[in-house]
Structure 1
Amino acid sequence: MEQPEMLENVSRELWMRIWSRDEDITESQSILAAAEKAGMATEQAQKFLGKMTTAQVKDKLKETTEAACKYGAFGLPFTVAHVDGKTHMFFGSDRMELLAYLLGKFKFPFS
């Protein structure tokens, strides 16, 4: 993976665009805007965008999609977490609090 330090920021921006602001994430300009807002250089974002049509990226997408189907994914967002030797699956953007709690990053109840 190139530039793994950008993965979280770009992923968060794409997540916010689609699940919080109902903005597009399918068009090239939308992806570039998300990457730039996350702090990635325009040239680097364009380079990565250009790789989307390569066989390597398409094969990885097929592999990841097949793995998601084996877990029982039926829609998005579908998240798989491996914690303490167990597999946990979450469906829906309204399940992030449960995922955060599982990871010890979110404390219930609110006080």
Structure 2
Amino acid sequence: MAPQASIICYYDVVSPYSYFAVTLLNRYRSQWKTVDIVLRPVFLPGILSGAKNQPPATVAAKLPYMVADLQRISTCAGIPYTFPSVFPVMSIPAMRLLVAIQKHESEDRYVQCVAKEAYWFNNQNISQKEVLIAAVTPVLGSEAKAEQYYEMTSDKDVKQELIDNTNQAIEAGAFGAPTFIVTTAGSDEPHMFFGSDRFETMASILNVPYPGLAPKNASKL
């Protein structure tokens, strides 16, 4: 059987553009039923190092542009956003937790709990255990379950999976996050896209509808 169309989204919650990208991608899922969508946690500093790139916030001319650009995206897309007081934050604990949860859960809303409710809206320090547990508890259904997954962040296989995901992204050509690897139905030729503003082009390649940046009927995750 011919392979199904797919999107792999490599993301790190420390990246504001990853936050917007994952939120928008989750909006479009209901209309992109023919596309297999996979969210893959990575460690952004590892990608930047592997690509010999540097964070936008370290470039004097880019930082003020980025702050203004993020506010524009938030307003246009209707996605709640507040620039956090601790930026960048050490995201390894959060990304390992997301790896651990993803190994056992099929629901992707837990990404939004960490990215939106904790960091990019409520301005909480997601390097702290108690913040992460509180963030994912509502979706997981119990604090005990959240605690269990957090304990898994010290497991060798969880640590290695985050490393492997990061290396896969680098090998695919990633130089930042979010990075998307898009494959059309019946093809094994990947197309790489970077950033949260490439959905229209991806939709065109995949031959799926593009409802726009702020579709009227979209639920605001």
The TM-score, its normalising length taken from structure 2, stands at 0.40
How far 1:60 moved relative to its partner?
Answer: 1.0
Question: In the alignment, which residue of structure 2 is the partner of 1:62?
Answer: 163
Identity %: 19
Residue from 127, 142, 146 that aligns with 1:26: 127
Q: Structure 1: which 5+ runs fail to align? A: none
CA gap of 1:21–1:59, structure 2 versus 1, over 3 A, is same
Whether 1:12 and 2:112 are equivalent positions in the alignment is yes
Question: In the alignment, which residue of structure 1 is the partner of 2:70?
Answer: none
Relative to its length, the structure with more helix (as a share) is 1
How far 1:99 moved relative to its partner?
Answer: 7.3
Aligned partners of 2:151 and 2:119: how far apart in 1? 25
How far 1:41 moved relative to its partner?
Answer: 1.6
Aligned partners of 1:107 and 1:48: how far apart in 2? 35
Q: 1:81 aligns to what SS in structure 2?
A: strand
Question: In the alignment, which residue of structure 1 is the partner of 2:180?
Answer: 79
Aligned partners of 2:142 and 2:198: how far apart in 1? 29
Aligned partners of 1:65 and 1:47: how far apart in 2? 24
How far 1:45 moved relative to its partner?
Answer: 0.9
Count residues in correspondence. Answer: 108
Q: 2:181 aligns to what SS in structure 1?
A: strand
Contact 1:32 1:46 in 2 (8 A): yes
CA gap of 1:3–1:107, structure 2 versus 1, over 3 A, is closer
Tell me: higher relative CO, structure 1 or 2? Use CA pairs within 8 A at least 6 residues apart: 2
How far 1:53 moved relative to its partner?
Answer: 0.9
Aligned partners of 1:100 and 1:28: how far apart in 2? 36
Aligned partners of 2:119 and 2:184: how far apart in 1? 25
Q: 1:95 aligns to what SS in structure 2?
A: coil
Residue from 42, 51, 74 that aligns with 2:152: 51
How far 1:19 moved relative to its partner?
Answer: 7.6
Aligned partners of 2:138 and 2:201: how far apart in 1? 25
How far 1:96 moved relative to its partner?
Answer: 6.3
Q: Structure 2: which 5+ runs fail to align? A: 1-102, 217-221
Question: In the alignment, which residue of structure 2 is the partner of 1:101?
Answer: 203
